[in-house]
Amino acid sequence: MKTFFTFFVSLVFAGTIPLKAQNSHERPNVLFIAIDDLNNWITPISGFSNAKTPNFARLAAMGVTFTDAHCQAPLCGPSRASVMTGLRPSTTGLYGMTDDNKLRRPDNPATKEIIFLPEYFKNYGYHTMGIGKLFHEHAPDGLFDETGSRVKGFGPLPKERFVWDGYGEGTEGVHGKTSTDWGAFPESDSLMPDHRSVDWVVERLHKDYDTPFFMGLGFLRVHVPLYVPQKWFDLHPIDSIETPPNLSDDLKDIPPIGLKINDLPMMPSTEWAIELGEWKNIVQAYLACMSFVDYELGRVLDALESSDHADDTIIVLWSDHGYRLGEKGTFAKHALWETATKAPLMLAGPNVPKNKKIKAPIEMLSIYPTLLELSGLTPYDRNEGKSLVPMLVDETKEEGSYAITTFGMNNHAIKVEGYRYIRYEDGTEEFYDHSADPNEWSNEVNTPEFKPKIEELNALLPTVNAKWDEYSNYTFQPYFVEQKEKTGMRTTSAPQK
Ligand SMILES: [Ca+2]
Ligand SMILES: [Ca+2]
């Protein structure tokens, strides 16, 4: 029973001590937010075409935004496998989509004893929770103490429009078969799986825990189909929509393997979108999906701020790769160019500076060691990425920073400040000088003045190129060709005009 004295003391100190009770544990919590296919158009980074994402900007004000972060693979499965194992795709052989439960197996020497990121925290006594798309599907069985799983596919889907759900299922609809579609659907946010994931997270942020927690939240949007309720489209009037830069004969200086990677038969081409007058509609839908995710992120931040965990929780928010909305002839991820590899990475919480942007090229592979260092855990000697903690407070640590992205076996790109170099499995190359050519339109690999820079970057590429993991079960091209033949998929199911 509260005595008069303790009541008096609490009155006296109410103005000087934090109003929120601190957890009894010493280590910070981790709130790990993965967003699918989110590119750098959000407002704290480029704000392209008047993107409306105030909650990303709010998170940016709370911490550090990396404006030149790159995935290690421009495809959901291998990108996430890299973040969660702390290893490069070239080390693990995980280049394609691998079942979450087959990432760590006795027959893969690189991953057979690997400790997944959430598991490392679990081993330190953290209470682990996860919902949504964190690994390729959700997470390996038994990884989280509490799991909210994931809704299969990327629905809900309107009955009258067939959208390939990523699993080769469904029936022919009036508009053909595809995985890329766009439009106002469903009627309310509460029908979106991401909304229900956030409900699950909000409920748990308001609980008390005896130990620190690691909570993973994986959003399905802005992955296609680009469906969100009408109100998110209304924020982006079609007259205000800009389209990103695209050069009609841009691909003429790309080596054959680069063209092959770029040309997935299931994705809409920019030429098609222009011909049918759909380009702005697709961009509008992508911006609408961003604003929806932004709103849901705001609900998470509100919940955290009003909880007892506000002052001792590290937030990390990242996307598994970029996304092209017409650049280099298509609407897709999978490529080794800037617009496909670059994605947001944001950090906030104890010991993270506020309202800071870091423009050095960095890797998503750094998430694992960075979280360990910020949480005061022992570094994991298997991590191939570097902790970003020194860079948070010391600008000199940005010097010489670079990021490597891999697509399939022995196709690599490296980004350093001002330049990008790509080398494909047959030795063909691309080189871009960003100071003169930010859109990567002119392949300068044969320009003599860049020879020393090209040699310098070539020497930094991985020397180990693990063979395709047996369960990394399809290469980029044959799989999609097979799906196209099997399902009759075509470019898009958007209404034909
Ligand atoms: Ca993705
Ligand atoms: Ca070109």
Q: Give the model confidence (pLDDT) of 332-356 as tens digits.
A: 999 999 999 999 999 999 999 999 9
166 alpha carbon, closest ligand:
1
Flag the least confident range among 83-92, 243-252, 253-262, 488-497: 488-497
What mean pLDDT do residues 451-456 have? 98
Query: Phi, psi (5° rounding) for residue 21?
Result: -70, 140
Active site residue 71: no
74 alpha carbon, closest ligand:
1
What mean pLDDT do residues 282-305 have? 98
Active-site residue identified among 70, 71, 76, 127: 76
442 alpha carbon, closest ligand:
2
pLDDT for 102-154, tens place per residue? 999 999 999 999 999 999 999 999 999 999 999 999 999 999 999 998 888 88
pLDDT for 429-446, tens place per residue? 999 999 999 999 999 999
What distance lies between CA 69 and its chain's CA centroid? 10
The pLDDT value given to residue 147: 96
**d(CA 491, ligand 1 centre) in Å:** 19
Q: Are strands 429-433 and 419-423 parallel, antiparallel or unpaired?
A: antiparallel
**d(CA 210, ligand 2 centre) in Å:** 56
What residues pair up with 343 in beta bridges, in sequence order? 69
Indicate the pLDDT class of residue 22, thresholds 50, 70 and 90.
very low
Which amino acid, one-letter code, is at 169?
E
**d(CA 75, ligand 1 centre) in Å:** 6
Query: Six-digit token pair at 146?
Result: 């509490």
Active-site residue identified among 70, 71, 127, 136: 136
pLDDT for 412-426, tens place per residue? 999 999 999 999 999
**d(CA 463, ligand 2 centre) in Å:** 27
What is the 3-class SS of 145-213, one letter each residue? Answer: CEEEECCCCCCCCCCCCCCCCCCCCCCCCCCCECCCCEEECCCCHHHCHHHHHHHHHHHHHCCCCCCCE
Q: Are strands 213-219 and 127-132 parallel, antiparallel or unpaired?
A: parallel
Contact by Cβ (8 Å): 401, 392: no
Of the candidates 478, 497, 494, which has an alpha carbon nearest to the alpha carbon of residue 486?
478
Domain parsing of the chain, residue ranges: 23-487
**d(CA 340, ligand 1 centre) in Å:** 10
pTM above 0.75, yes or no: yes
Is CATH 3.40.720.10 the classification given to domain 23-487? yes
What mean pLDDT do residues 463-467 have? 95
Active site residue 206: no
327 alpha carbon, closest ligand:
2
**d(CA 482, ligand 1 centre) in Å:** 21
pLDDT for 476-493, tens place per residue? 555 555 655 555 444 443
